[in-house]
A = this chain, B = another copy of it.
Amino acid sequence: MNKPALPKRLQGIEKSVIRQVFDRALPGSLNLGLGEPDLPTPEVIRRAAVRSIIDEQNGYTSHAGLSGLREKIAGSYPYLHGNIEKVLVTAGSQEALYLALLSLVDEGDEVLLPNPGFVAYPTIVQMAGATATYYRLPADNNFEFDLDSFRRALTPRTKVVVCISPSNPTGRALSRADLEGIADALRDHDAYLISDEIYRDLYYSDGRPESASSYHDRTIVISGLSKSMSMTGWRLGWMCGDVDVIQSALVLHGYVTTCASTVSQKAALVAWTDEAEASREDFRKTFKSRRDHLLSLIDIELGLRAVTPDGAFYTMIDVARYGSSMTVADALLEERVITVPGAAFGTEAEGFLRVSFCADLEALTEGVGRMKKAFQSFELASGEEVSTVTR
């Protein structure tokens, strides 16, 4: 019997760098590499789920999801004009992303991605048989959006553009001016914009970041409740936009998962209540105080530069003076603290570590203490004071 040859779509696709780092972690490690809120799912959501399990039968919903839920979602984005045919409920925003790319992108197409950006983008593009191209979010400008780089990277062969705001891994959000710039660059282009807005409700600056869909009609929004309602394990996401695109994705969705969990869909119905909004506000306050605590520790204890995130729960620490991001992340593993090497997210984030603040203040203090110890041994090993020029 022969070992099966891997189909082309999966060739060269391996466990992500994040998983590889996690797998090397020692027992007792502090995990500052997570992409998952540690806060409990709000009571209002739990109550709704429990009620649905006790009082109702939870069979298949329609493939597209419960109408009531699709109405709530359709009502959240002005460009949908309340049309539920423009909304598809998915098993988390991960499925939404997969469906969006697989229903828009053909073999040989180009997909323009942010560098740095979420690790799944280039992999799914590769699975679709397409080619990933990149626009730079320059590290030396705190990973801010750069319209020139964006315009230069856009070609006539670009089929889809992906943006994420607030960003995983950088926490930076796209400003109104950035979104106007993107819309302007795409005005006479056939490309669709996939806007990953999964972190949109976790923000720490003046007001909720805007949706790209408010600036550009040809936007497919990807979102869900995993991060804002701490519902990662519930697998509840959505995609919305153009009816034709949603229709194609719906066909694929029926064969991929049939529908999202009915219990999770029913629980999600209450995510638009005042009580849920109060929970979101509490989450933001908690994460903001953690962010400020972590940034201050990085500055005072480590003397390193770090990005001040506008949203999400990550910061990027510049560790270039100590070596490659993988070397540094590995050295931190020895001190039992898990971070993610920037290289995992693209060349632009090389020399940085993604550190998440999905941990309480005490754990963040302990984590930075362990990092400090690791950095001190780096300095001892190099036998001299390392350069203070960072990049």
The interface of chain A, by Cβ under 8 A from chain B, is: 1-10, 13-16, 36, 40-41, 46, 49-50, 53-54, 57-61, 91-92, 94-95, 98, 102-107, 120, 123-124, 127-128, 159, 190, 192, 218, 230-235, 244-245, 248, 251-252, 254-264
Q: Please state if B123 and A255 are interface contacts (CB–CB under 8 Å).
A: yes
Give 9 nearest A-B pairs by CB, closest first: A233-B262, A58-B233, A7-B106, A261-B261, A91-B257, A94-B258, A59-B233, A60-B232, A59-B232
| Sample of 12 more A-B contacts, CB < 8 Å, known A10-B102, A41-B58 | A3-B244, A6-B248, A7-B102, A10-B103, A58-B234, A91-B235, A95-B257, A98-B255, A127-B252, A127-B255, A257-B257, A261-B264
Q: List 23 A-B contacts (CB under 8 A).
A: A4-B104, A4-B159, A4-B190, A5-B106, A10-B102, A10-B103, A41-B58, A49-B263, A50-B50, A58-B234, A59-B230, A59-B233, A60-B233, A61-B233, A91-B235, A91-B261, A94-B256, A120-B255, A234-B263, A235-B257, A235-B258, A235-B259, A261-B264
Report B-chain residues with C-beta under 8 Å of the C-beta of A6: 103, 248
- Contact flag A49-B41 (CB < 8 Å), given A95-B257, A218-B1: no
Complex Cα spacing A61 to B232, Å: 9
Task: Give the Cβ gap from A45 to chain B, nearest Cβ, in Å.
Answer: 9
Determine the chain B residues whose CB is within 8 A of the CB of A16 once the complex forms: 254
Complexed CA–CA distance, A95 and B49 (Å): 23
B46 touches A53 (CB 8 A): yes
Instruction: Collect the chain B residues with CB atoms within 8 Å of residue A231's CB.
Output: 58
The contact of A251 among B13, B54, B91, by CB within 8 Å, is: B13
* A255 adjacent to B103 (CB under 8 Å): no
Q: Is there an interface contact between A245 and B4, defined as CB atoms closer than 8 Å?
A: yes
Bound form: Cα–Cα A104–B36 in Å: 31
- Shortest A354–chain B CB gap in Å is 17
Distance, CA A16 to CA B258, complexed state (A): 12
- Nearest chain B residue, comparing its CB with the CB of A109: B7
The winner among A13, A53, A190, A248 for most chain B CB atoms within 10 A is A53
In the bound complex, how far is the Cα of B46 from the Cα of A230, in angstroms? Answer: 22
User: Beyond A4-B245, A50-B53, A248-B6, is A256–B59 a contact (Cβ under 8 Å)?
Assistant: no
* A210 → B minimal CB distance (Å): 22
What is the minimal beta-carbon distance from A123 to any residue of chain B, in angstroms? 6
